[in-house]
Amino acid sequence: MEIYFLGTNAGVPTLQRNVTSIALRLMEERRSFWMFDCGEGTQHQVLRSPLRLGKLEKLFITHLHGDHLFGLPGLLSSRGYQGGTAPLTVYGPPGLKAFLDVSLSVSQSRMPYKLEIVEHTGGLVFEDETFKVEAGLLEHRIDSYGYRVTEKDSPGSLNTELLQSYGLKPGPLYGKLKKGEDVTTESGVVIRASEVVHEPKKGRIVTILGDTRPCPGSLPLAQEADLIIHEATFAHDLAEMAYQYHHSTAVQAAELAREAEGRELLLTHFSSRYVSQEELTPLLEEAQAIFPQTLLAEEFCTFPVYRRK
């Protein structure tokens, strides 16, 4: 599980950074990746990345401002030309379907895959046997949502050395043990699953928050997350401006991560006034003074999501 940034700028693209888009790479877990937001030019960013749109499985939109949305029609249209034939589901706030219906129909875009559009107003938006995704309303000029992606715990591995000492070879009984069932060997030895199965692997939690100023809705989404991705549009000397524009400072993002007892914080969605990564250093230092496990997002960079021991 890895995070890969395709765009980290706020509002409009610059020569240094594109507008918002984040990929959650799940190649080991699902042989696919998910995308969060799709600002204008995202498909160009994908071409410069190791990502392949044919592997895009799900796309989540936080809110309907253009810097998070305007790249979506082009990306959906291009996906078919890049080998994308598997179904794709797009999730987002009410109004998303109308936007896509009009843009895709007027342009007569034809896609060789099933496209499903799911509008939501928060709550559980997706769940299967390995993952669930919950959404919560934040505080922005329009409805903006954060997403909490929870990887479910996976069964622990078998102690194969111990099993071989019992004379048990790989086969159907291995599967029963991994499911927690006790088994009996041909020689009559009872093997208890609790003695030969390691502890379950704890699932990871990734929280990706859309545009927001500090609000109560952020905390439940971020609680004890392994990785929190939070906007940091301004340094804290512009806190009043951030509030007026319904955005957050790096300090406010760090305060949330600390209160939520998260493990790591990634700052993104930077104002164009901070041109280079060096000019973002004060934002990083402000945040690290409150929450030391803070990093700056950087486009075309991979950030692993580490599993708790």
- Residues belonging to the binding site for Zn(2+) are 63, 65, 67-68, 140, 211, 269
Say how far apart CA 284 and CA 7 lie, in whole Å: 18
The one catalytic residue among 37, 67, 143, 226:
67
Annotated binding site: 63, 65, 67-68, 140, 211, 269
Neighbouring residues of 17: CB distance < 8 A, sequence distance ≥ 6: 7, 8, 9, 270, 299
The three state secondary structure string of the chain is CEEEEEECECCCCCCCCCECEEEEEEHHHHCEEEEECCCCCHHHHHHCCCCCHHHEEEEECCCCCHHHHCCHHHHHHHHHHHCCCCCEEEEECCCHHHHHHHHHHHCCCCCCCCEEEEECCCEEEEECCCEEEEEEECCCCCCCEEEEEEECCECCCECHHHHHHCCCCCCHHHHHHHCCCCEECCCCCEECHHHHECCCECCCEEEECCCCCCCCCHHHHHCCCCEEEEECCECHHHHHHHHHCCCCEHHHHHHHHHHHCCCCEEEECECCCCCCCHHHHHHHHHHHHHCCCEEECCCCCEEECCCCC
Q: Do 281 and 265 meet the contact criterion of CB atoms below 8 Å apart?
A: no
Helix axes 281-290, 250-260, angle to 10 degrees: 30
| Annotated catalytic residue 67 | yes
Catalytic residue numbers, as ranges: 67
